[in-house]
Each structure stands twice: as structure tokens, then as C-alpha cells.
């Protein structure tokens, strides 16, 4: 009886404690954010997110019902969803440090070298030091010049390839069909590989195809809501086979990246001491990063080996750069072909500032204000990452007057913010002119929360400058050099695919023909 009495007292104490915790916020005059309807036991709102509608639009519809700040439950985890620029600003400025961490996930563990991937690593000393090293390496004068040289040479080479393809296959129609979505992907891959690893994949090269497919799966799996992440005790079941897929993908990616790293280590070991000291100033990012990590990351490498840190960091930058940048250019050209008057206007701008007897140069971009407006409008309508990469609060905080407990995950619905009718007139219409008039002063650098395709705050995308410069040069060069037509009278399909990044669901097959004289393409007449 004494044991039973003690048990009853213990249970009653726990109930009183839980009731007290629930009532405390109300007594203090603060409330928890409203929770969206439709939650099921155990799985929460996971069944809604697993539907056919892309998550950013589903959550946008929920915001119309429950407001610009609400919560959902993804299994055992509570997620704060913010869908207005004001709420996003409060999360990423006032509470920026609180929300600077990332939630743990099976994908990050298995494919991110056990959280060594700085883009997905928790906030802390390791993340801060690796971020500082990356900023130094990517922002050095030598690195910026090297990136510019790579961009220019790859664009010129790819433009020439399209012209030669047209020349071989034009037939009587004087046009050829080119999948521009695939073309944009290839040119960006070549740029990023040369920048990161120093090698250049040859067309059709076996390890190129394997590596690209593995990285594509990597990005897809990062965007998957695996059952074991929502409900951790399900992991042993491996529902959906996600753990198996992740381990296989990690192995395939590591095989290629490790080969590059071993090559650079051999070169560094065979070099003279002076050459090793100067390795960080060499064009290859991987070699410079390895030298700096070995020198600067001292505290037992935070539990990671130098090789792991370098491979994880290079994979993070490669995956982000090679996957998101083609997304933006593909949407931009799709919008231009569907809006021929806008396409004509930007081509006229190019003729004024560039002419027809030479290629576009990077020094021309500053004069192409209409082109820049088109890119901003594309990023507004089709942000590459429509839902921010998840954040996680490291302590209790207040957002919009609501108490947000420690451990809450944060999703910023960037797509919904970019389509807010209180900010954007006719928010679903393609109107680049808005960035020459009413929204002229808004940029994409994370300072204006009405337009934040690269995010904002501590976790803003570090590759935004590279991405923007690549998008500007590639888009300007391609629409300066070629005419594009739809293969039929139908509009280009603008269906979006689900996932971490907002890919166009279908290919972008267009009829292509040159606009300029042969010598501009680097071929003889």
C-alpha cells in the first residue's frame, strides 16, 4: 500500500507540474502560436505534407487560414511556420542567434559526414570557424578573379557548343531543339567543378554522370520528410528505405570527392615547402581549404578529421551551387519565352549596351538594368529554395508576441512572402518593371525581407554572390546570342516539383537559332 501511495503521489506531482507549465505562459500574458488544424495523433500534420501539392503552396494556403505565424507538428517535432516579411525579419534579426542552429536529421548524419557539413551543422564553435574560413577563401581577391575567369571561359565554350549543334542539325527549319534545362545544369556543373576541384568533367564521362546523379539524389533526400526524422523510434524499420538510399548515395559521392582530395594531397606532399605554403592561393578551392583547415582548426578538429571537414565542406558548396543556380536560369528563360515582349525588350537592351559584333562581358552587366529586374522578378516568383532550410531554436524566445519554446523548428515560407499581395501588386504576374519603379531599391542580399531568395541572417547562403554573377552572365549571353521559340503554340509548362529546391518539373525543350554572325561564336564563317 505504501508503494501504491508513493506511485500515486509521483503521478499526481507530474500532472501538477505539466498543468503548471501549460498555464504559466497564460498567467504571464503570453501565448503559444496557434496550431494549424488537421493534426493526427503521433504523425501530426505529416500526412498533409505527404500529399501531391508542393509544400510551400500547401503551407501558403494554411497561412491564409491560420495567419502569418502558426505551428504544425511533424511527428514529435513542433515547427513554427512564418509567412510574412515582418515575422521573417523578427526571426532572422531580433532572434537570429536563437534560430541560427539546424535540426538533426538522418540525411545530415549519413550524407553530411556526421554533421561536418557546415550548411547543415548545428550552430556552435565548429560552424563559426568553418564559416569564417569559407568566407575568407571565397572572398579573397585571387579567388574572385579565378571565379570570374572560369565563368567567362565556360560560358564562351558552351555558347560555341550550342552554335555548332545548330550548325550540324539545323535542317530546313534553321532551328534545332535544345533542352535548355539540361544545358544550364551542365554549364553550372563545369563551373563549380573547376572552382572546387580543378578538374573538368568531359561530356559523357562515366564518373561525371554517376557523381551528378548521386548529388541529385543527395539534394532530393535532403528535402524528404523521412518517417524516422518525424518519429525517431521508427528508424529501425527504415520505412521507405531512406536510410539505405542515403548510405548508398553517401558512398557514391565520397568515392569521387575522396579521389579528388587524395590527388591534391599527393601534389601537396610532393611540392616544396614554399609551394605548400602558397597552396591556399592556388585556383583549386579544395587544396586551399585543406591547407587552411590543417593549420587553423586545432581543437581536436571538433571530433572530425581534416579529410572529413574538407570533403563535407566541398560537398556542401558543390551541391548548393550546382543545384540552385540552374533552377533560377531555367525559370527565367521559361518566363521570357512565355512573355515574348519582355524577351524582345531585354534583347534590345543588350543591343544598345553590347551590340551584335561581340559577346557579353561581365563589365556589361552593370548597364543591363532590365536584365537585372528580370532576374529579381524570377527569384520572386520562383525562389530556388521556396521554404528556407529548417532552423531550430536553441532557447525560448518571443516571435510576434508568442512564446516559442526551445527546440522549435522554423520554416520561413519564402514563396508565400514573395507573393504577398500587401507588398506586391498582382503578385502572380511576371512584371520585371516593378523593380525599375515601385520596388527599385529592393535587392536580394538579405537586407530586404520582402525579397530573400538567399535567406538572411547568420545562415544566409554564402554562395549568393557567385550564384547571382553566374545567373546574370549566363542569361545575358544566351538571350544575346540566340533566338528562342516554343516548339508548339502551348505555353511553357511551369509546373513545380516538390523538394528542397524548386525545380521545373519538365524539361525546357526550345527551338534555338543564332542571332549573331559566326565569328562572335568563335567559329569561322
Establish if 18 belongs to a structural domain.
no
Report residue 385 CA to chain centroid gap. 5
Establish if 195 belongs to a structural domain.
yes
Residue 256, CA distances (Å) to 191, 206, 313, 492 in order: 17, 11, 14, 36
Establish if 23 belongs to a structural domain.
no
- Residues 524, 49: Cα–Cα separation, whole Å: 55
Range of the domain at 220: 51-521
Establish if 164 belongs to a structural domain.
yes
Domain count, the chain: 1
- Residues 389, 443: Cα–Cα separation, whole Å: 21
- Residues 293, 285: Cα–Cα separation, whole Å: 12
- Residues 457, 447: Cα–Cα separation, whole Å: 9
Indicate the Cα dihedral angle 457, 462, 465, 471, nearest 10°: -110
Establish if 16 belongs to a structural domain.
no
CATH number at residue 480: 1.10.630.10
Q: Do the Cβ atoms of 154 and 469 come closer than 8 Å?
A: no
Residue 426, CA distances (Å) to 181, 420, 494 in order: 27, 9, 18
- Residues 225, 54: Cα–Cα separation, whole Å: 13
- Residues 419, 60: Cα–Cα separation, whole Å: 9
| Residue 212 CB partners (closer than 8 Å, separation 6+) | 185, 189, 322
Residue 359's φ and ψ, nearest 5 degrees, are -80, 160
Q: How many CB atoms lie within 10 A of CB 208?
A: 19
Q: Which helix (H) or strand (E) holds 494?
A: none
Of residues 121, 146, 133, 127, the one with CA closest to residue 466: 146
In a 3-state reduction of DSSP, which class is residue 380?
helix
- Residues 486, 482: Cα–Cα separation, whole Å: 13
Establish if 333 belongs to a structural domain.
yes
Return the pLDDT at 51.
82
Longest Cα–Cα distance in the chain? 102
pTM of the model: 0.91
Q: Do the Cβ atoms of 457 and 446 come closer than 8 Å?
A: yes
Provide the residue-wise pLDDT of the chain in tens; the chain has 525 residues. Answer: 455 444 554 455 445 444 544 554 544 555 899 999 999 999 999 999 988 899 999 999 999 999 999 999 999 999 999 999 999 999 999 999 999 999 999 999 999 999 999 999 999 999 999 999 999 888 777 787 888 999 999 999 999 999 999 999 998 889 999 999 999 999 999 999 998 988 766 555 667 788 889 999 999 999 998 999 999 998 999 999 999 999 999 999 999 999 999 998 998 888 655 554 444 455 689 999 999 998 888 766 788 999 999 999 999 999 998 999 999 999 999 999 999 999 999 999 999 999 999 999 999 999 999 999 999 999 999 999 999 999 999 999 999 999 999 999 999 999 999 999 999 999 999 999 999 999 999 999 999 999 999 999 999 999 899 899 999 999 999 999 999 999 999 999 999 999 899 999 999 999 999 999 999 998 876
- Residues 374, 279: Cα–Cα separation, whole Å: 40
Return the pLDDT at 486.
95
Return the pLDDT at 231.
93
Return the pLDDT at 474.
98
- Residues 238, 128: Cα–Cα separation, whole Å: 33
Establish if 14 belongs to a structural domain.
no
Establish if 306 belongs to a structural domain.
yes
Return the pLDDT at 282.
55
Residue 349, CA distances (Å) to 24, 83, 333, 360, 458 in order: 62, 36, 16, 12, 37
Return the pLDDT at 1.
47
Amino acid at each position: 500500500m505504501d508503494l501504491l501511495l508513493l506511485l500515486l503521489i509521483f503521478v499526481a506531482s507530474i500532472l501538477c507540474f505539466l498543468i503548471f507549465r501549460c498555464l504559466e505562459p497564460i498567467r504571464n500574458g503570453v501565448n503559444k502560436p496557434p496550431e494549424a488544424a488537421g493534426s493526427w495523433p503521433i504523425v501530426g500534420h505529416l500526412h498533409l505534407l505527404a500529399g501531391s501539392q508542393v509544400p510551400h503552396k500547401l503551407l501558403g494556403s494554411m497561412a491564409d487560414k491560420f495567419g502569418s505565424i502558426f505551428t504544425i507538428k511533424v511527428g514529435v517535432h513542433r515547427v513554427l511556420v512564418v509567412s510574412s516579411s515582418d515575422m521573417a525579419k523578427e526571426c532572422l534579426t531580433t532572434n537570429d542567434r536563437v534560430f541560427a542552429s539546424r535540426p538533426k536529421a538522418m540525411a545530415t548524419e549519413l550524407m553530411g559526414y556526421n554533421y561536418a557539413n557546415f550548411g547543415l551543422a548545428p550552430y556552435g564553435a565548429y560552424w563559426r570557424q568553418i564559416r569564417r574560413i569559407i568566407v575568407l577563401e571565397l572572398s579573397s581577391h585571387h579567388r574572385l578573379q579565378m571565379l570570374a575567369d572560369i565563368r567567362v571561359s565556360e560560358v564562351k565554350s558552351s555558347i560555341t557548343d550550342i552554335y555548332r549543334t545548330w550548325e550540324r542539325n539545323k535542317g530546313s527549319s534553321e532551328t534545332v531543339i535544345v533542352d535548355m534545362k539540361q544545358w544550364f545544369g551542365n554549364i553550372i556543373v563545369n563551373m563549380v567543378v573547376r572552382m572546387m576541384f580543378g578538374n573538368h568533367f568531359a561530356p559523357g564521362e562515366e564518373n561525371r554522370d554517376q557523381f551528378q546523379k548521386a548529388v541529385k539524389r543527395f539534394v532530393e533526400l535532403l528535402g524528404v520528410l523521412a518517417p524516422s526524422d518525424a518519429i525517431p523510434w521508427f528508424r529501425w524499420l527504415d520505412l521507405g528505405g531512406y536510410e539505405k538510399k542515403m548510405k548508398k548515395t553517401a558512398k557514391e559521392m565520397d568515392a569521387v570527392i575522396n579521389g579528388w582530395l587524395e590527388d591534391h594531397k599527393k601534389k601537396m606532399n610532393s611540392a616544396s615547402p614554399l609551394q605548400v605554403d602558397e597552396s591556399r592561393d592556388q585556383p583549386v578551392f579544395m587544396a586551399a581549404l585543406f591547407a587552411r583547415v590543417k593549420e587553423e582548426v586545432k581543437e581536436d578538429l571538433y571530433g572530425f578529421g581534416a579529410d572529413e571537414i574538407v570533403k563535407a565542406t566541398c560537398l556542401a558548396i558543390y551541391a548548393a551551387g550546382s543545384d540552385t543556380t540552374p533552377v533560377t536560369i531555367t525559370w527565367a528563360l521559361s518566363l521570357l519565352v512565355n512573355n515574348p515582349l519582355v524577351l524582345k525588350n531585354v534583347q534590345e537592351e543588350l543591343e544598345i549596351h553590347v551590340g551584335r559584333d561581340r559577346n557579353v562581358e561581365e563589365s556589361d552587366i552593370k548597364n543591363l538594368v532590365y536584365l537585372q529586374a528580370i532576374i529579381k522578378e524570377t527569384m520572386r516568383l520562383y525562389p530556388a529554395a521556396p521554404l528556407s532550410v529548417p532552423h531550430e531554436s536553441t532557447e525560448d524566445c518571443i516571435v510576434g508576441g508568442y512564446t516559442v519554446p526551445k527546440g522549435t523548428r522554423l520554416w520561413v515560407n519564402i514563396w508565400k512572402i514573395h507573393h504577398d499581395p500587401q507588398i506586391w501588386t498582382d503578385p502572380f504576374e511576371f512584371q520585371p518593371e516593378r523593380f525599375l519603379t515601385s520596388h527599385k531599391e529592393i535587392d536580394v542580399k538579405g537586407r530586404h525581407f520582402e525579397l530573400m531568395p538567399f535567406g538572411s541572417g547568420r545562415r544566409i547562403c554564402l554562395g549568393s554572390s557567385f550564384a547571382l554573377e553566374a545567373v546574370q552572365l549566363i542569361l545575358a549571353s544566351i538571350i544575346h546570342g540566340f533566338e528562342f521559340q516554343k516548339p508548339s503554340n502551348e505555353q511553357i509548362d511551369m509546373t513545380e516539383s516538390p523538394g528542397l529546391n524548386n525545380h521545373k518539373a519538365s524539361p525546357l525543350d526550345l527551338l534555338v537559332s543564332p542571332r549573331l554572325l559566326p565569328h562572335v561564336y568563335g567559329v569561322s564563317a
